[in-house]
Amino acid sequence: MVLNSGIQRGLDFSKPETIDLDQVGTELTTNYLSHIHLTTHLLSFLQRQKTLTALIYITSGLALAPIPRCPNYCASKAATHHLLLCMREQLRGSNVRVVEVLPPAVRTELHDEKHQPDIKDGGRIGISIEEFMAEAWEGLREGREEVPVGTSRRPYEDGWEVKRQEQFRKMAEMMRK
């Protein structure tokens, strides 16, 4: 099962009067809470299967290194990233794998002017869908649990995410004892 959802809107706390709290809630629901709802409903079915299954979540490289323009989007993807670390630990040893793909900006309607009027030429932002799919597919074929793609590899592989997850695993191990 692939879970992929995303709304990205600008959010500027230097102009609090421009913040639409309903829109903030919709973004959080779409990017984070929907994954919890779907996962809750899918897990019992997947756990009853006799073969290996997987939940594959598409998050974002912005879960690791946020940008000031869209803090709610970054926070929602970071929340999902942390949720997946914990889910993976809880489901370790079961027939359900928890996989995360962390794309960079990809040329999709996420950045187009219709959805984000403050971004000009947003359709040109990022890598092509074909580039994203080729690299993501390669990581999935290799059986990786986390697949950072393109520029998302830098914050992941350059050290801090690897070190942070080492600390997470140590804490999880202590909790099991």
Which residues carry out catalysis? 73
The total of other beta-carbon atoms located within 10 Å of residue 79's CB is: 18
CA-CA distance, 28 to 22, in Å (whole number)?
Answer: 10
N- to C-terminal Cα separation, the chain: 32
- Contact between residue 52 and residue 1 where contact means Cβ atoms under 8 Å apart: no
φ and ψ at residue 117, rounded to 5 degrees: -60, -20
| Residue whose structure tokens are 């697949």 | 147
φ and ψ at residue 147, rounded to 5 degrees: -130, 85
**5 residue type, one letter:** S
